[in-house]
Amino acid sequence: MLNLARKDSFANGIHPPEMKDETSHLAIRRFPFAPLLIVPLSQHLGKPASSVVRAGQEVSRGQVIAEADGFMSVAMHAPASGIVKKIALAPGIGGNMIESVYIEPHPASSQEVEGGEACDVESATADEIIAAIQSAGIVGLGGAAFPTHVKLKPPEGKTLDTLIINGVECEPYLTTDHRVMLEQTADIFNGIRYLLKATGAGESIIAIEANKSDAAKKLQDECPADLPVSIRVCPVKYPQGAEKMVIQSLLHREIPSGGLPADVGAICVNVATTAEIGRLLPRGHGIQERVITIGGPGIKRKGNYRIPIGTTVRFALDEAGAAKDIARVFLGGPMMGPSVSNLDIPITKGTSGITAFTQAQIDEATGHKHIYPCIHCARCVEACPLFLNPSQLGILAKNEEYDRMVGEFHLMDCFECGACSYVCPSHIPLVQYFRLSKKMVRKLSAAK
Ligand code: SF4
Ligand code: SF4
């Protein structure tokens, strides 16, 4: 029986407006092909894939265009049938340039994906499933883009007892996971079969926030009797969907500082990633598209779209009817999504949404905010789900005291949820300080 009144949650956190009503009821629609698709060879954490095509070559949709370069890497597949125009650098989200395959789709081709080597869940071994997930190019679709097959192999000496399927989707505006749970229910259960076999975990839990009760009910109603799955509904609270928080809420296990879910016997896989495993592996296909939410007040045709990887943000915004005076665009939602400075960057496997605002909307939401000095109100401390001290970290960041930030105040544990910035009455951009500080820490330690 599904219990919607459970109080499985974590301490602290915040309640920003959810802003999901405008797209949560809209079924997933297919997005048209852009005249040019840009497929970066590095869309995941780890080593870039290694290109196996050349300029001028014809490719068919779903064909492998780059192979994994080592274990910490995944394959890339052509998002459309067409011609490889060039292999060259293209801008990425952080302003960095990434080697990419530029494909011009054939407008009149069928765009059917040709069959590959299917992975049968009944007969495949755990290692074969892990290899098939790597070959399918599957990474965390929730935004982290961590290669999924790497997660499935726990470090030596660790065992996994519980598989958590993360359908929390706590980020405002985003409704892709919600729609995937409603529309790809069978794929999700199929994906769970693969994941349970690959990890050896004895049980799985699908975690959902209470604002998606229709999805929770559908999953509960259609859950196969032979699958060890339970559906757990958490109260709506940000950042409930963060891996550490969802494990704490459901299993009451705390991942140690600098540790991994495997340290507490758990593995957490995003629900859309699970659905893609369940959909692609039986067909032997790879990821060439993903579901994203295009929303925010600056968008006319808001919705959930199955969009080819490599579509530029500019094309996506034009097709979705973005207002001409769009001033701020986030890849993902406004809490954790990075703000985009160049609209010609491509949508990658880790892009869960595009959220767009005009300047007037930003001014209205922020009230033309100025940054004032810290008044030591401790609201940021009460908001931080990890019990960090954002106020102190903010002061140290301004003074560039990186050693103290890391050694005394655990900067590297911060997962940049932005809850502290959200509640700060002085409008101090704490999370931006922490992002920059972490970059500096990595740069300094690489230089050493
Ligand atoms: S951004 Fe970091 S410091 Fe701020 S609330 Fe989130 S985890 Fe805590
Ligand atoms: S919320 Fe802002 S003003 Fe209050 S203690 Fe934290 S940093 Fe200072």
**Can the peptide bond before residue 346 be classed as cis, meaning omega within 30 degrees of 0?**
no
- Ligand (nearest to CA of 388): 1
CA distance 275 to 345: 26
- Take residue 173 and report the two structure tokens written for it: 């505006």
The pLDDT value recorded for residue 445 is 86
Q: Annotate 167-178 with DSSP letters as a single string.
A: E---STT--HHH
pLDDT at 109 over 80: no
Tell me what the mean pLDDT of segment 14-36 comes to: 96
**In percent, how much of the chain has pLDDT > 90?**
84
* Exposure b/e, 223-235, CB count within 10 A at least 16 = b: beeeeebebbbbb
Tens of pLDDT, residue by residue over 356-373, are: 998 888 877 766 678 999
Structure tokens at 80: 């459309």
**C-beta of residue 92 within 8 angstroms of C-beta of residue 346:** no
Q: SS3 for 234?
A: strand
Q: In whole angstroms, what is the distance from residue 338 CA to residue 358 CA?
A: 16
For ligand 2, atom 7, the nearest C-alpha belongs to 391
Contact 310, 98 (CB under 8 A): no
Using most ligand atoms within 8 A of CB, pick from 380, 388, 389, 430 the residue to mutate for ligand 2.
Answer: 380
Q: Give the whole-angstrom CA distance, residue 418 versus residue 30.
A: 32
Nearest CA to ligand 1 atom 5: 384
- When pLDDT is cut at 50, 70 and 90, the band that residue 448 belongs to is confident
Which mutation among 387, 395, 416 tests ligand 1's pocket best, with the greatest number of atoms within 8 A of CB?
Answer: 416
User: What's the CA angle centered on 165, arms 160 and 167, to 5 degrees?
Assistant: 155
Q: How many Å lie between the centroid of ligand 2 and the Cα of residue 244?
A: 24
Mean of pLDDT over the chain = 94
pLDDT recorded at residue 185 = 98
- Pocket test of ligand 1: the residue of 406, 431, 433 to mutate, having most ligand atoms within 8 Å of its CB, is 431
237, pLDDT greater than 90:
yes
Residue 421 near ligand 2, beta carbon < 6 Å: no
Per-residue confidence at 1, pLDDT binned at 50, 70, 90?
very low
The residue whose C-alpha atom lies closest to atom 3 belonging to ligand 2 is: 374
CA of 167 to the centre of ligand 1 (A): 21
φ and ψ of 105, to 5 deg: -65, 145
- Ligand number, closest to the Cα atom of 428: 2
Q: Is the Cβ atom of 376 under 6 angstroms away from ligand 2?
A: yes
Closest Cα to atom 6 of ligand 1: 417
What ligand 2 atom has the least distance to the C-alpha of 426? Answer: 3
Q: What are phi and psi of 179, to 5 degrees?
A: -70, -40
Atom of ligand 2 nearest to the CA of 379: 1
Question: Between these two residues, 376 and 258, which has the higher pLDDT value?
Answer: 376
Using DSSP, state whether 185 is helix, strand or coil.
Answer: helix
Q: What is the pLDDT of residues 44-55, one digit of tens each?
A: 888 999 999 999
State the sign of the Cα–Cα–Cα–Cα dihedral 21, 24, 30, 32: positive
- φ, ψ dihedrals at 381, nearest 5°: -65, -40
Q: Where are the alpha helices (DSSP H) in 152-203?
A: 176-183, 185-199
Distance 429 CA to ligand 1 centre (A): 11
The per-residue pLDDT for 5 is 45
Protein residue with least CA distance to atom 8, ligand 2: 374
| Residue type at position 414 | C
Going from the Cα of 381 to the center of ligand 2, the distance in angstroms, rounded, reads 8
- Is residue 314 within a helix (H) or strand (E), and if so which, with residue range? helix 313-319
Contact residues of ligand 1, CB 6 A cut-off: 383-384, 386, 388, 390, 414-420, 430-431, 434
Helix (H/G/I), strand (E/B), else coil: 348: coil
**Token output for 194:** 């693969």
Tell which atom from ligand 2 comes closest to the C-alpha of 377.
4
Distance between Cα 370 and ligand 2 center (Å) = 14
Give dist(CA 206, CA 218) in Å, integer: 12
Which pTM does this prediction carry?
0.94
Q: pLDDT band for position 111 (50/70/90)?
A: confident
Burial of 165 per CB tally in 10 Å (0-12, 13-18, 19+): buried
pLDDT computed for residue 367 by the predictor: 64
Ligand nearest to the CA of 373: 2
Find the helix or strand (DSSP H, E) in which 51 lies.
strand 50-51
Atom of ligand 2 nearest to the CA of 376: 5
- Which pairs with CB-CB distance under 8 Å and at least 24 residues apart come from 404-411? 405/437, 405/441, 406/441, 410/257, 410/386, 411/437, 411/438, 411/441
Tens of pLDDT, residue by residue over 407-430, are 999 999 999 999 999 999 999 999
- What percent of the chain shows pLDDT beyond 70? 98
Residue 300 to residue 274: CA distance in whole angstroms: 30
- Give the pLDDT confidence of 321-344 residue by residue, as tens digits: 998 889 999 999 999 998 998 999
pLDDT digits over 114-173, tens only?
Answer: 778 999 999 999 999 999 999 999 999 998 889 999 999 988 899 999 999 999 999 999
Report the C-alpha gap between 124 and 119 in whole angstroms: 7
Q: Distance, CA 23 to ligand 1 centroid (Å)?
A: 28
The three-class DSSP label of residue 384 is: coil
Q: How many Å apart are CA 38 and CA 52, to the nearest integer?
A: 15
- At 265 the pLDDT is 96
222 φψ region: left (φ > 0), alpha (ψ -120 to 50), beta (else): alpha
- SS3 for 354? strand
Q: Which helix (H) or strand (E) element contains residue 21?
A: helix 21-24
Distance from Cα 379 to the centre of ligand 2, integer Å: 6
Query: Cα separation of 328 and 176, whole Å?
Result: 21
Give the lowest-confidence range in 166-180, 281-295, 311-325, 366-380. 366-380
Domains detected in the chain: 134-280 (3.40.50.11540), 379-447 (no CATH)
CA of 375 to the centre of ligand 1 (A): 18
CA of 187 to the centre of ligand 2 (A): 45
